[in-house]
Amino acid sequence: MIVEDASAANQTCENGISMDLFLHLSLVPALFIMAVLSYLQRRVRQTALDSKIPALSGHFGIVVPLDLITSLSNRWSYGFAFGAVSSSVMLLFSESYLPFQVPAWAIAIVYLVGALEVGLAYFPFFACLSTPFRAAGAVLGFLYTLVWVLVTLWDTVTCPAGNILGRFQKPVLQWPCILCLVFLLGRFVHMLVKAVRIHLGLERAEGQEQLLQSHQAQYIQTLLSRPSQRRMELNWFQRKVYTWDPHFKFPNRMIGTSIISLIGLYIMTVADYSLSDYAFDSLDVLKDSLEDLVISCNLTDHSIAALVPQLKEFTRVARGAWLATTIFASLTSVSYTFHVLACYRKHLKRLWAGQKHFLPEKFHHPSPAVSVAAIAKYSGWQIAFMMWGFLIIHFVQFLFALLIAYLVVVPLQHGNGLAMLSNLGFIILTVGVVMGMVALQLVLVQKFFLQDKISPTDKQKPLALNNRYEFRRAFHNFNYFFFFYNVIMGLSNCILRLLTSCVLGTWLISRIDRTIMQRGYESLDPGYSTWIGMIFADHYHSNPVLICFCNLLLEERLQKERAAITYSPSNSSAAVSVEGSRATRRWLLLYTLLKNPQLILQRKRLASTSAHDDSSGRAPLETIALACVLALQRSRVQGEADTPAPIKGGPDTDARPTAD
């Protein structure tokens, strides 16, 4: 059936468009768009060539498609751009993309050339979204995207058939990519309309992206607030499924990776089901051929005649098991995609809080080069791990489904329920006896061979043997006789340990955020090493506390520059400004000591400063802060809590504490 559809597709699509040829030809307009955007982009540093060729005058700067580290703007636009790339990414994943024929030893180089070609072909989508020249980027991006939409739609409508899904392969597989392209088309239209309104003065131009984002300032505000004020009521979905954090935003890299993974899983699921249907149809043809052979040759007593019903039953059971496990494997992989996002947020917030105990000790200080390189490796590796993990998980689940079907379902259908229950009871009884003997050892040790509780409120007995003469001798006999039994039990536990390790390893192959190696061998897991390097790089570049600190330094520097320009050194108001800044610093120090009284004893003070404070008759700042802390504690006991004014944080506000 599929072969006939494929031949019909070849006959119908002779006048169609070759998408591979279109991808090659799209490099010409892509390079032209890159040249235009590079010409508009100014270089900060001038070169000797600029003086020789005045027409350059700083033009042809480096065009950045998107910032995968710190940028948090246009995240969903970039996500749909990644969705438009998903079909070509799946083509690279299938390893069937070869621009030209080369010897076997140079296949890796050809794959590199193919990946660069795909990157250049889709470069205008990202570059036109990120360019500061909004009008030019909108026009060029709209025209380039429109060509891609028209060509993709024309190829899908005029040539819908394929070798895997039959008549409607391209509409089924290409609709996510077409939807993303249409969204990008609307996004470029919105950018063009907005640029025109700004040019006509009907709308204010957007400022440069602030260093401190509003959600980061709110996160700092929650850190400085009381723990009781941070609690919020959670509904059922937030308690059981997912708790979103308004003070955290996922970067473009994570959103783009998740979108490509979801689209890739959809394509893999559809292709997997279609190929399995073709394989089981082939088994049905083989079964019918054997049945015709038995009837024509009258082989009723031959072994081939006994094979026909078994093959028929296997085909029926395997078809149902494969369909069921396809659904479960797809749901498992989709849940892994969202779970990786949740783990990314959880791990990053732990690093922001200075917690590294959830990581192996050897990963507490990763190499800077490894961390920066992990940013480039993570997205591609996560997508590949998710695709291969889906196939591996599906195969493992299929084997378990066949095992359950032949152990439970098939005997019940054949009327052998009592025999199945007897065998199942024998297995359960054997496992129960083994587990009972293990539990018996624990009960005997807990009851007779440990000392009594030191305190009645203790939950467990202390780790100390009962030193009474009889109990000590009984414990030695207990160890001696159970030594021989535990040798026998060790074999079954060894096999169980091996099977558990294999099942968990294959089940978690898609989870790049969790290692599948044993403790001490985590560095042999390249996926987990990439995950650790990536979260550390994001931690150092997107920590809200560090960004807020840098923002305060920049604001203070700008204030000093404005004060130096506005006021002369001889002006008396400069002294007032200096005195005000000193008072501000002292107030910030007092506020910090009030919130963290343990820092009072850890501060280093010069002897001269102490002598100066003592001679002037004024109390040191630590004494004042300690007195304030004691007064505040007394007032809290009496129910008169004093709370400073809340911090106002944001991209255009100062995130420092203010006093009433």
3-state secondary structure at position 131 = coil
Q: What is the helix (H) or strand (E) element at residue 526, kind and residue range? A: helix 526-542
Q: Is the Cα dihedral 26, 29, 35, 40 positive or negative? A: negative
Amino acid (1-letter code) at residue 299: L
Q: SS3 of 260, please?
A: helix
Spatial separation of the C-alpha atoms in residues 464 and 441, rounded to whole Å: 16
Residue 330 pLDDT > 80: yes
Question: Does 571 or 177 have the greater pLDDT score?
Answer: 177
Among 196-200, 355-359, 381-385, 652-656, name the one with the lowest average pLDDT: 652-656
Mean pLDDT of the chain: 78
Q: Which amino acid is at 76?
A: W
Q: Name residue 638's amino acid.
A: Q
The helix/strand/coil state of 465 is: strand
Count other C-beta atoms under 10 Å from residue 286's C-beta: 13
**pLDDT, tens only, 91-118:** 776 655 665 666 777 777 877 888 888 8
pLDDT of residue 139: 92
DSSP 649: -
Q: What per-residue confidence (pLDDT) applies to 652?
A: 38
Among 347, 373, 380, smallest CA distance to 529 is for: 373
Least confident interval from 62-71, 183-192, 333-342, 512-521: 62-71
- Which of 82-91, 151-160, 316-325 has the largest mean confidence? 316-325
- Of 417-431, 592-606, 615-629, which gets the smallest average pLDDT? 615-629
Place of tokens 């006991």: 637
Max Cα–Cα distance, the chain, nearest Å: 120
Residues forming a β-bridge with 653: 650
pLDDT at residue 502, rounded to an integer? 85
The confidence score (pLDDT) of residue 16 equals: 61
pLDDT of residue 303: 65
Q: How far apart are CA 39 and CA 534, in angstroms?
A: 33
Residue keyed to tokens 């070869």: 98
- Give the pLDDT score at 605: 58
Whether 444 has a pLDDT exceeding 50, the answer reads yes
Comparing 152 with 226, which gets the higher pLDDT? 152
CA distance 60 to 40: 7
In contact, 513 and 340? CB cutoff 8 Å = yes
The residue-averaged pLDDT of 431-456 equals 83
Cα 215 from Cα 223, distance rounded (Å): 13
**For range 209-217, the mean pLDDT:** 77
Highest mean pLDDT pick, 59-73, 112-126, 295-309:
112-126
What gap in Å lies between CA 515 and CA 521, rounded to an integer?
A: 9
**pLDDT band (50, 70, 90) for residue 144:** very high
**Which carries the bigger pLDDT value, residue 628 or residue 184?**
184
Confidence label for 418 from pLDDT (cuts 50, 70 and 90): confident
What is the band of 209 on the pLDDT scale with cuts at 50, 70, 90?
low
pLDDT value at 591 more than 90: no
Cα-based angle 234, 237, 241 (whole degrees, multiple of 5): 115
Confidence of residue 42 (pLDDT cuts 50, 70, 90): confident
The whole-number average pLDDT for the span 395-401 is: 91
Q: CB 257: neighbour CB atoms within 10 A?
A: 26
- Is residue 280 within 8 A of residue 322, CB to CB? The reply is yes
Dist. CA 320–CA 69, nearest whole Å: 45
Phi-psi region of 639 (alpha: psi -120 to 50; beta: other; left: phi over 0): left
Mean pLDDT of 437-453: 84
- Tell which wins on pLDDT, 136 or 427: 136
Residues, the chain: 660
Give the Cβ contact number of residue 33 at 10 Å. Answer: 23
What Cα–Cα distance (Å) separates residue 354 from each residue in 310, 453, 543, 599? 61, 37, 11, 18
Residue 444: closest CA among 469, 466, 420, 468: 466
Distance between CA 347 and CA 658 in Å, rounded? 32
The token pair that represents 152 in the structure block = 């993709």
Q: What is the pLDDT of residue 217?
A: 82
**523 exposure class (CB count in 10 Å sphere: 0-12, 13-18, 19+):** middle
Contact call for residues 344 and 497 (beta carbons, < 8 A): no
**What percent of the residues of the chain are helix, what percent strand, and what percent coil, each to the nearest 5?**
70, 0, 25
* Model pLDDT, residue 390: 92
- Once rounded to an integer, what is the mean pLDDT over residues 396-423? 83
- Per residue in 504-558, pLDDT (tens digit) is 888 888 888 888 888 888 888 888 999 999 999 988 888 888 888 888 888 888 8
Q: Is 408 exposed, middle or buried (0-12, 13-18, 19+ CB in 10 A)?
A: middle
Instruction: Report the alpha-carbon distance of residue 79 to residue 82 in Å, rounded.
Output: 5
pLDDT digit string, tens, across residues 560-581: 777 777 655 444 444 445 445 6
- In this predicted structure, what is the pLDDT of residue 628? 54
Taking only the tens place, the pLDDT of each residue in 2-13 is: 334 444 444 446
- Helices 252-297, 303-352: inter-axial angle, 10-degree rounding: 170
CA–CA separation, 527 vs 631, rounded Å?
Answer: 54
Is residue 510 a contact partner of residue 390, using CB atoms and an 8 Å limit? yes
Output the pLDDT for position 551.
Answer: 84
Residue 626 has a pLDDT of 56
Q: What does the pLDDT read at residue 660? A: 31
Q: What region, left, alpha or beta, does residue 415 occupy, with left being phi > 0 and alpha being psi -120 to 50 degrees?
A: left
Cα–Cα nearest to 552, from 584, 591, 599, 595: 584
Tens-digit pLDDT profile for residues 455-512: 888 888 888 887 777 777 888 888 888 888 788 777 778 888 888 888 888 888 888 8
pLDDT 10s digits, 346-370: 999 999 888 888 888 888 888 888 8
More confident residue, 123 or 609: 123
pLDDT at 143 over 80: yes
Q: How many CB atoms lie within 10 A of CB 253?
A: 24
